[in-house]
């Protein structure tokens, strides 16, 4: 098939909040589509609505208006439990602050989404192990997050996102809490994963990071102001 | 997420906070231990009373004669006529009094009972040495006596009293038998008394009327029938003055005794139950703190696919495991405490499985009830809000 397969399609998305009696428009009429295998950076200054957009894309929040198709399914109107299932199966989250559970070992952290999916123990450990090996942490599976460096922790988080083999990886400022050298390592890993066929959506405010993606969507005041491919 | 997984998670989180978990459980531990040891003591008392009453025989009817007017008006001969009542196996009339018993310089005031030979079978009270009273002793007003072990000790020390003489209110009686040791019942000591023929007692105490009649029926089934028949006869005899006599069977006595001790047991259990409830509130308190402490963890779990139900189960199981563990420790302490109480105070303590089961089930229920609110609070958190908190 020469036509690229559609992974995400957003049309006329709006999200507003009421804060102290005033209506704040976080997203106004946002529309775009992302195909399988893309590496997209969504960039914008703080307050631009990119966090709201990331919550929508990650099915952590639902829009007030507009439609959101993910992997062929309309997810904008689903119940909380159905959304949890979508998050579990379709989305791999990578957060700025890693968001690992401090009391669990690396392996147990990676197993967590598989536990909620109901994967039986033995198979689960196997999947988690291979995921950790993929990010180069095969040797440190039984360490707790506190015993790992920032870069290693983020790699555990990436392994956790990869473990369930979701169609899309959603990374929110993945290098934000890392020094530039480690940040570069993580970005290299992202690029590697993309070259292996994973779809990646990267949310950032850093232009240098955004430049490394194949496509950049620029957002400001709740609207998309630019959407273009990066020259290689 | 399955139950085994949830249990494992709960166990992990409890182990991570050992001190806090222990302190949280302490309320439940104390509550369950209190319930078990107090109820055991109460049930032990009930069992002891029941055993004592049943030891007297379940086919026993007791008549107490208070008398009409100044004189007691049921003679020994009249009382023996009740033996003709259908269903009656044996009649044992008793005249009581107190006399001064003397052996040389040793003397003391003892309670004395004038009895017939039927006393032995009806009251199930035998001699350990010598012989019991014989019909001949009654007919010929023999001055012979049976002596209780405590009285024997007081009057004769370590000597065997059988064959010795004892002075009762100045009259010389020969001791023909030493009674077996019976211990105390609710009526007082059974070992501190002297038994003599009822005919001799009438003279010694200058009293023609019997105070109590023990009647043994042919079987436990016709006790009620015989009892009403006797009541009818007594009613006739005392011309309807119901305060002149009282008739009761072991059943009546048993139910009075057990209702007293079971009320006591319930009261103890109630007090202990309140402390269990307080323990439950302690669990709820800590679980609420734990939920707010772990808001971020809940957010992460939800972001990667935990449903409301998964979070609810996780926290609920944690509180149930806390309560259940407290329950198990409490059972251990309660059972141990009960046996310590019985060892050091000599009280009868009986721990029944039903109390242990009820106490454990109750503590689990407390875990569920007081865990619901915090677990629900955790489950209702929205992932974006939860992820935002530090």
User: Does some domain include residue A56?
Assistant: yes
Strands (E), chain B: 60-65, 88-103, 106-115, 127-130, 144-147, 165-168, 171-179, 184-185, 188-189, 193-197, 212-217, 245-249
What pLDDT digit, counting tens, does each position of B83-122 carry? 888 888 889 999 988 999 998 888 889 999 999 999 988 8
Over range B135-151, report the average pLDDT: 92
Average pLDDT over chain B reads: 87
pLDDT value at residue B384: 87
What pLDDT digit, counting tens, does each position of B193-205 carry? 999 999 999 889 8
Beta bridge partners of A23: A18
Most B CBs within 10 A among A19, A75, A84, hence the mutation to make, goes to A84
From residue B157, alpha-carbon distances to B160, B161, B177 in Å are: 8, 9, 16
**B16 to chain A, closest Cα gap in Å:** 8
B305–A89 CB contact, under 8 Å = yes
Least confident of A98-112, B151-165, B220-234: B220-234
Q: Which residues of A touch B12 (CB under 8 A)?
A: 103
Q: Which residue of B has its CA nearest to A166?
A: B304
- Max mean pLDDT among A16-20, B142-146, B258-262, B346-350 falls in B142-146
B305–A88 CB contact, under 8 Å = yes
User: Does some domain include residue A112?
Assistant: yes
Identify the contact set of chain B against chain A, taking CB-CB distances under 8 A.
Answer: 1-2, 5, 12-13, 16, 296-297, 299-310, 383-384, 387
Tokens in use for B201? 């007692």
What pLDDT digit, counting tens, does each position of B32-85 carry? 998 888 888 888 888 887 777 777 667 888 888 887 665 557 888 888 888 888
- Pairing assessment for the beta strands B88-103 and B165-168 based on DSSP bridges: antiparallel
Q: Which residues of B touch A60 (CB under 8 A)?
A: 303, 383-384, 387
**B311 to chain A, closest Cα gap in Å:** 10
**B1 to chain A, closest Cα gap in Å:** 5
A93–B302 CB contact, under 8 Å = no
Q: How many domains in chain A? A: 1
pLDDT value at residue B69: 63
B305–A103 CB contact, under 8 Å = no
Is ipTM beyond 0.90?
yes
**B34 to chain A, closest Cα gap in Å:** 35
Q: Which residue of B has its CA nearest to A51?
A: B384
For residue A61, give the nearest of B12, B297, B384 by CB distance: B384
A99–B300 CB contact, under 8 Å = yes
pLDDT value at residue A1: 43
Laid out side by side, the sheet with A39-43 consists of A91-94, A168-172, A199-204, A39-43, A215-220, A223-229
Across chain A, how many H-helices and E-strands are there?
A: 7, 10
**A153 to chain B, closest Cα gap in Å:** 15
Domain with A85 in it: 38-60+80-229
The domain spanning residue A217 has which CATH number? 3.40.50.300
- Pairing assessment for the beta strands B171-179 and B144-147 based on DSSP bridges: parallel
Most B CBs within 10 A among A19, A103, A120, hence the mutation to make, goes to A103
Q: Which residues of A touch B305 (CB under 8 A)?
A: 84-85, 87-89, 113, 116-117, 164
What pLDDT digit, counting tens, does each position of B14-41 carry? 888 889 999 999 989 998 998 888 888 8
Over range B182-202, report the average pLDDT: 82
User: Does some domain include residue A43?
Assistant: yes
User: Does some domain include residue A7?
Assistant: no
B242: pLDDT confidence band, cut at 50, 70 and 90? confident
**A115 to chain B, closest Cα gap in Å:** 6
The angle subtended at Cα B42 by Cα B41 and Cα B45, nearest 5°, is 85
Q: Which residues of B touch A165 (CB under 8 A)?
A: none
B131: pLDDT confidence band, cut at 50, 70 and 90? very high
Gap between the Cα atoms of B121 and B104, Å rounded: 33
């Amino acid at each position: 098939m020469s036509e690229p397969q559609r992974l995400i399609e957003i049309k006329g998305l709006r999200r507003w909040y009421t804060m102290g009696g005033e209506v704040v428009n976080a997203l106004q009429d946002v529309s775009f589509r992302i195909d399988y295998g893309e590496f997209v950076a969504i960039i914008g200054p703080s307050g631009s609505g990119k966090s709201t957009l990331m919550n929508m894309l990650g099915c952590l929040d639902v829009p007030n208006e507009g439609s959101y198709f993910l992997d062929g399914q309309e997810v904008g109107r689903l119940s909380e439990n159905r959304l949890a299932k979508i998050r579990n199966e379709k989305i791999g989250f990578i957060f700025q602050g890693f968001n690992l559970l401090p009391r669990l070992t690396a392996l147990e952290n990676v197993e967590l989404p598989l536990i909620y999916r109901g994967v039986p123990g033995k198979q689960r450990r196997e999947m988690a192990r291979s995921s950790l090996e993929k990010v180069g942490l095969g040797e440190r599976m039984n360490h707790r997050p506190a015993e790992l460096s920032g870069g290693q922790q983020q790699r555990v988080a990436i392994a956790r996102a990869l473990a369930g083999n979701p169609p899309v990886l959603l990374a929110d400022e993945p290098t934000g809490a890392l020094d530039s050298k480690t940040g570069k390592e993580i970005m290299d890993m992202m690029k590697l994963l993309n070259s292996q066929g994973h779809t990646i959506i990267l949310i950032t405010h850093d232009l240098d990071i955004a430049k490394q993606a194949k496509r950049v969507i620029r957002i400001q005041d709740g609207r998309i102001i630019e959407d273009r491919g990066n020259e290689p | 997420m399955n139950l085994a997984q949830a249990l494992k998670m709960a166990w992990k989180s409890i182990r991570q906070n050992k001190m806090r978990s222990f302190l949280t459980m302490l309320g439940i531990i104390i509550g369950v231990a209190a319930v078990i040891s107090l109820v055991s003591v109460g049930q032990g008392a009930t069992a002891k009373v029941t055993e004592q009453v049943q030891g007297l025989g379940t086919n026993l009817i007791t008549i107490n004669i208070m008398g009409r007017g100044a004189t007691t008006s049921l003679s020994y001969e009249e009382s023996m006529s009740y033996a003709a009542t259908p269903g009656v196996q044996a009649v044992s009339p008793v005249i009581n009094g107190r006399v001064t018993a003397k052996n040389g310089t040793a003397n003391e005031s003892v309670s004395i009972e004038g009895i017939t030979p039927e006393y032995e079978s009806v009251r199930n009270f035998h001699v350990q040495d010598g012989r019991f009273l014989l019909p001949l002793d009654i007919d010929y007003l023999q001055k012979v006596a049976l002596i209780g072990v405590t009285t024997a000790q007081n009057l004769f020390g370590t000597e065997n009293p059988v064959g010795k003489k004892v002075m009762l209110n100045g009259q010389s009686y020969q001791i023909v038998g030493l009674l077996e040791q019976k211990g105390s019942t609710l009526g007082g000591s059974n070992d501190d008394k002297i038994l003599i023929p009822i005919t001799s007692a009438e003279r010694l105490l200058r009293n023609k009327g019997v105070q109590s009649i023990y009647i043994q029926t042919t079987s436990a089934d016709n006790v009620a029938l015989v009892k009403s028949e006797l009541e009818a006869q007594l009613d006739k005899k005392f011309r309807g003055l119901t305060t002149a006599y009282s008739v009761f069977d072991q059943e009546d006595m048993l139910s009075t005794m057990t209702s007293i001790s079971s009320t006591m047991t319930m009261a103890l259990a109630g007090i202990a139950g309140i402390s269990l409830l307080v323990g439950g509130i302690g669990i709820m308190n800590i679980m609420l703190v734990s939920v707010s402490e772990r808001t971020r963890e809940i957010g992460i779990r939800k972001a990667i696919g935990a449903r409301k139900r998964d979070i609810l189960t996780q926290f609920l199981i944690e509180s149930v495991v806390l309560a259940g563990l407290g329950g198990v420790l409490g059972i251990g302490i309660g059972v141990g405490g009960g046996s310590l109480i019985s060892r050091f105070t000599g009280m009868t303590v009986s721990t029944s499985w039903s109390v242990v089961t009820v106490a454990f089930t109750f503590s689990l229920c407390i875990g569920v009830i007081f865990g619901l609110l915090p677990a629900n609070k955790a489950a209702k958190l929205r992932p974006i809000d939860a992820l935002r908190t530090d």
